[in-house]
Amino acid sequence: MQPSSYGPFPYSPITQRPKLDWPGGARLALWIIPNVEYFSLAEKVPAGAGGSGSPVPDVPAWSARDYGNRVGIFRIMEVLDRYGIRGTVALNSDLCAAHPELIAEMTARRWELMGHNESNTRRLNEAAPGEEEGIIRRTVATIAAASGTAPRGWLSSGLQETWHSLGYLADAGIRYVCDWTNDDQPYAMSLDGGRSILSVPYSHEINDKPAFEKHNRTADEFETMIRRQFDVLWREGETSGRVMAIALHPYLTGVPHRIGALDKALSHICSHSGVWLATGDEIATHYAGTRESTGSAAA
């Protein structure tokens, strides 16, 4: 992607697009993205990831995140199991070697694993010159070897990209990304050489990290945000299908005093008809098929 003042896609008002139909006539595709991350005790937690800036070992910051992988993720698994929801994991590939037990738990549930860099202490836009492509390829290869399936989706750590990221991702076999949080429907992004990659809606808002760490929301407030987000998108989806993303971090939502909020919010959502409980790849695959059948190149 060349430097540009706008993204590698046309501006497309949502009111001027063909109707988007989901399987079974659903109004809304819901996907839930647990960010299962690896933080090295020997590396600083980045400020953008909530780091304190303290020298390593930053025991308090690291311990909070390790709690998510030791305890919190299993609470999230229990809740998603209750509603028959398969998570789409944003996975730091270093976790494959560090915590293979978690890979086994996620693959047993048929959760989708998408790339999320190697470690959450290292961002693509901070990589040394010439290193970004290697990070992407190693991440994809490591997850494929550990799970038996190559990732088809990608969320960059911190949602940070460079001008070259999308091309490297496409070259590595990635079909969709969710760094671009600018829509409630998927859309195609054009790359050099006639290639394309899909954007699947992710969320800065319905995301426990900014909600709890930046905006200091309570668990009850976060639950209300999820319910209100759903109510509006479900209503709008009667006209044309919408996507709702719920982004979670096990060290935040997986603590005892917050997990009930997720449970209550999902109870509300799943009490409605017309909700497709999907993975990111299922959303991307269906959308790509819809575009091919209509011959549409627009979002």
pLDDT value of residue 297: 45
Q: How far is Cα 117 from Cα 194, in angstroms, rounded to an integer?
A: 26
State which amino acid sits at residue 211: A
> Which two structure tokens, joined as six digits, stand for 201?
């809606």
pLDDT digits over 79-127, tens only?
999 999 999 999 999 999 999 999 999 999 999 999 999 998 889 999 9
Instruction: Please give the pLDDT value at position 292.
Output: 67
Domains, the chain, in order of start with CATH, read 20-294 (3.20.20.370)
**174 close to 186: Cβ distance less than 8 angstroms:** no
Measured CA to CA in angstroms, residue 209 lies from 43, 218, 237 at distances of 20, 12, 27
Q: What is the model's pLDDT at position 298? A: 42
pLDDT at 49: 67
pLDDT in tens, the chain (299 residues): 788 899 999 999 999 999 999 999 999 999 999 999 999 999 888 776 677 778 899 999 999 999 999 999 999 999 999 999 999 999 999 999 999 999 999 999 999 999 999 998 889 999 999 999 999 999 999 999 999 999 999 999 999 999 999 999 999 999 999 999 999 999 999 999 889 999 999 999 999 999 999 999 999 999 999 999 999 999 999 999 999 999 999 999 999 999 999 999 999 999 999 999 999 999 999 999 987 665 554 44
Are 37 and 196 in contact by the 8 Å Cβ rule? The answer is no
User: In this predicted structure, what is the pLDDT of residue 59?
Assistant: 93
Residue 290's pLDDT is what?
Answer: 85
Instruction: Please give the sequence-ordered ranges of beta strands (E in DSSP) within 101-237, or none if there are none.
Output: 112-115, 153-154, 176-177, 187-190, 196-199
Q: What is the pLDDT of residue 52?
A: 76
Tell me what pLDDT residue 45 has. Answer: 82
Chain position carrying tokens 């949602």: 159
Furthest CA-CA distance within the chain: 55
